[in-house]
Structure 1
Amino acid sequence: MAKPKTKSKSKGSTSPGFNKAVQLVLHLTAVLQFSYGVYIFHNIQMPNTVPFAGKFKFLTFICAIIQALYYIVSLVNDFVGTNELAPKRPPAIRQFKDWLMATLAFPVALNVGVTFWSLYAIDRELVFPKALDPVFPSWLNHILHTNIVVFIVLELFTSYRAYPKRSKGLTGLTVFMGAYLVWIHIVKHYSGVWVYPVLEVLQLPQRIVFFVTVIGFTLALYLVGEFLNNTVWAKEVKLAKRKSN
């Protein structure tokens, strides 16, 4: 007598409950650490820095706020929104979550992490002078410059998001980065000091090249995030396209 056939799970498959638990733990852990990191950084008295604009003149601080906001939105979405791979009518909280991840959270996090550690390896005095060591704990430095990259990459592999139209996503990111460059020039105008020591050692032509490179690099990171999302979630992307047609 032939045995009835049974459906077997693929080797790489996991249950929806397990995926939901992973997402929930990741989002809760990220909310706690980045919110706490923002709080501690905001209250640190940094020596030899211009008080104008407080910590809001640092892209690191703004990036940490973006990460905290993103994971708070993600946590809310876990409970009142949906993590369905391709919902026909995604709620507003899910749409905002997907847009925030694609347009700001991923590219800005990688920008801050890669740029900081690259300059740190060349000469730490350009971005994180030794004078900060007594007041700026190393664990906070890693939350703000290392964990932002680790967690956003984990997020990309554990949660699918629908990327906006490339033109809209790149426009949003360009506006953000352009506004920040204008902002640090305003800080320089009123304080007489550049936010980052590296800008002090660059001549005007070099600063222009530096700014153009940073913006170009950040826009490239957006495309990297889109490529990784479409590669990791290839089946889901195809499903979403079929549903939208």
Structure 2
Amino acid sequence: MTKVELYKSRVFVTIIHLCALGQFAYGLYYSSFEVQRSYKLKTSVSRRLVPEALSQKVRFLSYWSLIIQALYYVVSLVNDFVGTNELAPKNAPTIRKFKDYLMATLAFPVALNVGVTFWTLYAIDRELVFPKVLDPVFPSWLNHVLHTNIMVFIVLELFTSYRAYPKRSKGLTGLAIFMVSYLIWIHIIKHYSGVWVYPVLEVLQLPQRIVFFVAVLGFTFALYLLGEFLNNIVWAKEVKLAKRKST
């Protein structure tokens, strides 16, 4: 069985979805109820990087990304049992259409945005995104669930489950609404709290922040196009064959 034929095995695809959902759901649980030890940190700047209340957690794109991943794999599991994983179904059920749209518009580009941006800044200067002072209270495995495994599983999903991409204008519009809403959200937080959610924004001047935000948006849109391109490349032959059989 080749990698592009794995979608034919419902058991295999379901196991992948269960593994992904299990760790992302546990990551949400742990970050919501177990990471409650910020009082051990000496500075207020460090404490705010370990959010305890839900209102603090939703400041971070990593948390939103984790919610998106958990939601996507819940939808995927529902589709595995009551929907269809066929390449070109004549009448795709609503759950399958929603799964495909969620993957294309949010799950893939946001996951790669979070992972690549985090580890790039971490490599440049980890103090900008994940200061060493957090190591005693924020386990490394949770850090990898938030910033590494989201990329691993969504790329694996790309190669094991086909999805029909929406019309590009609709897909990019959905992604733009989400990303712009988040950028507005962190500015609202800055207005009322007086501090930026991410330390990297504290060291940037206004022109640099504008360039940074534009670059983040441009990078995210590029990731959407990358996902669409890879999907078409990986599944091109199988889609053509499936369409021939259905006619």
Tell me if TM exceeds 0.5: yes
Q: Please tell me the root mean square deviation across aligned C-alpha atoms, in Å.
A: 2.3
1:14-58 superposed Cα distances (whole Å, 9 cap, x missing partner): 877962222111100011100110111123234420768310000
Cα distance in 2 between the residues matched to 1:212 and 1:225: 20
Cα distance in 1 between the residues matched to 2:19 and 2:90: 30
SS at match of 1:177: helix
1:198-226 superposed Cα distances (whole Å, 9 cap, x missing partner): 00000000000000000000000000000
Residues 17 and 182 (structure 1 numbering): CA distance in 2 closer, same or farther, change over 3 Å? closer
1:73-92 superposed Cα distances (whole Å, 9 cap, x missing partner): 00111001111111111111
TM-score by length of 2: 0.89
User: What is the aligned partner in structure 2 of residue 228 from structure 1?
Assistant: 230
Q: Which amino acid aligns with 2:190?
A: K
User: What is the aligned partner in structure 2 of residue 5 from structure 1?
Assistant: none
1:130 Cα shift?
1.2
Residues 169 and 85 (structure 1 numbering): CA distance in 2 closer, same or farther, change over 3 Å? same
SS at match of 1:233: helix
2:60 aligns with one of 58, 61, 75: 58
1:128 aligns with one of 121, 127, 130: 130
Cα distance in 1 between the residues matched to 2:239 and 2:226: 16
1:42 aligns with 2:26: no
Give the gaps of 5 or more residues in structure 2: 39-45
Give the gaps of 5 or more residues in structure 1: 1-10
1:142 Cα shift?
0.6
Q: Which amino acid aligns with 1:31?
A: L
Cα distance in 1 between the residues matched to 2:76 and 2:148: 20
1:237 Cα shift?
3.9
Cα distance in 2 between the residues matched to 1:58 and 1:151: 21
Report how many residues are paired: 235
2:18 aligns with one of 28, 37, 42: 28
TM-score by length of 1: 0.90
User: What is the aligned partner in structure 2 of residue 71 from structure 1?
Assistant: 73
